[in-house]
């Protein structure tokens, strides 16, 4: 009878340990995925980088500033902000030259001013790289 009781207790403890471990692993997985402070920060940083008015940014809202976040969140925030800010700097690339990055005028550039040859040209070609309008600029 005592042996039977011990077996039941051991089984219950084993079951509890298994439940505990699986919860820990589940919790860890959730932490490591999109719910991590780093990723949360990254997403907010990326969003803020697209908001031109600093007053509208998440990080500048009451009780949302850096002091209210963990170091990990802010590390993600800074990286997200930098990455997404980089995307918007592509506005300096004229859309007439989709395969390369050439800023719109001014200054007005000539083919000798750019290192590219046989540039794909679309639209209004503000630099006049494609004089014969065949869609290819600075033919070599």
- With respect to Ca ion, which residue has the nearer C-beta, 34 or 112? 112
Tell me how far apart the alpha carbons of residues 24 and 44 are, in angstroms, rounded to a whole number: 27
Least separation in angstroms between CB 121 and Ca ion: 7
134 near Ca ion, judged by CB under 5 A: yes
132 near Ca ion, judged by CB under 5 A: yes
136 near Ca ion, judged by CB under 5 A: yes
Residues of span 42-101 touching Ca ion by CB under 5 A: none
140 near Ca ion, judged by CB under 5 A: no
- With respect to Ca ion, which residue has the nearer C-beta, 52 or 140? 140
- With respect to Ca ion, which residue has the nearer C-beta, 115 or 140? 140
Least separation in angstroms between CB 116 and Ca ion: 13
| Count, residues near Ca ion per rule CB under 5 A | 4
130 near Ca ion, judged by CB under 5 A: yes
Least separation in angstroms between CB 133 and Ca ion: 7
Tell me how far apart the alpha carbons of residues 95 and 137 are, in angstroms, rounded to a whole number: 14
Q: What is the DSSP string of the chain?
A: -HHHHHHHHHHHHHHHHHHHHHHHHHHHHHHHTTTSHHHHHHHHHHHHHT-SSGGGSGGGSTT-SGGGS-HHHHHHHHHHHHHHHHHHGGGGS-TTSTTS--PPSSSPP-GGGSS-SSEE--TT-TT---TT-SSEES--
Contact positions vs Ca ion (CB under 5 A): 130, 132, 134, 136
């Amino acid at each position: 009878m005592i042996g039977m009781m011990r077996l039941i207790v051991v089984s219950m403890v084993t079951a509890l340990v298994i439940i505990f471990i699986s919860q820990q692993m589940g919790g860890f997985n959730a932490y490591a995925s999109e719910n991590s402070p780093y990723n949360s920060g990254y997403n907010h940083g990326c969003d803020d980088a697209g908001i031109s008015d600093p007053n509208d940014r998440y990080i500048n809202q009451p009780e949302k500033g850096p002091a209210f976040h963990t170091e990990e969140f802010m590390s993600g925030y800074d990286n997200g902000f930098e990455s997404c800010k980089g995307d918007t700097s592509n506005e300096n690339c004229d859309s007439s030259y989709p395969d390369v990055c050439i800023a719109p005028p001014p200054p007005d550039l000539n083919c000798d001013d750019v290192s590219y040859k046989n540039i794909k040209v679309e639209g209004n070609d503000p630099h006049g790289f494609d004089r014969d309008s065949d869609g290819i600029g600075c033919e070599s």
